């Protein structure tokens, strides 16, 4: 999806700008993993199996082993990204995640399940 590509590009750009050079090799692998999952994530979002929560993470909405595996891997990598950005900006990882959640919700494609700040789920 075009919007998801933009989100991935933004994350990659933030990683490239905000992460020190000593992390570059590790972050390159992280970017590759996230990029490889993108099509599957978009497909699962489109089917409603997963959604974007208000903390900047994906969440399983329909019981699916495939979705659970992808969600766990994606969230693990997002935790690393948020921690790296937090370290560079002086924010907390939770603040970074919540900020990303607002961006993701705003840029999500129609039909994607998103969690509002209050915790309720809606389909964009």
Give the tens place of pLDDT for each residue, 21-79. Answer: 445 557 778 899 999 999 999 999 999 999 999 999 999 999 889 899 999 999 999 99
Alpha carbon distances (Å) from 58 to 20, 34, 67, 92: 26, 13, 10, 19
Position 22 scores a pLDDT of: 44
Position 29 scores a pLDDT of: 83
Q: Domain containing 12: what range?
A: 2-123
- Structure pTM? 0.78
Dump pLDDT digits (tens) for 72-110.
999 999 999 999 999 999 999 999 999 999 999 999 999
Structure token digits, residue 52: 């974007």
Q: How far apart are the first and last CA of the chain?
A: 15
* Alpha-carbon gap, residue 28 to 25, rounded angstroms: 5
45, 51 in Cβ contact below 8 A? yes
* Alpha-carbon gap, residue 124 to 121, rounded angstroms: 9
pLDDT averaged over every residue in the chain: 86
More confident site: 4 or 112? 112
* Alpha-carbon gap, residue 97 to 54, rounded angstroms: 8
Show the DSSP H helices in 1-121 as ranges: 2-18, 24-47, 65-89, 93-107
Number of domains in the chain: 1
């Amino acid at each position: 999806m075009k919007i998801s590509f933009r989100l991935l590009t933004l994350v990659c750009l933030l990683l490239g700008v905000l992460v020190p050079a000593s992390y570059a090799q590790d972050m390159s692998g992280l970017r590759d993993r996230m990029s490889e999952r993108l099509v599957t994530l978009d497909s699962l979002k489109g089917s409603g199996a997963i959604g974007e929560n208000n903390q900047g993470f994906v969440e399983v909405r329909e019981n699916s082993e495939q979705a659970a595996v992808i969600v766990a891997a994606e969230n693990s990598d997002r935790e690393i990204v948020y921690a790296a950005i937090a370290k560079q900006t002086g924010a907390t990882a939770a603040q970074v995640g919540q900020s990303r959640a607002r961006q993701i919700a705003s840029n999500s494609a129609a039909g994607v399940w998103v969690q509002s700040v209050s915790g309720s789920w809606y389909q964009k």
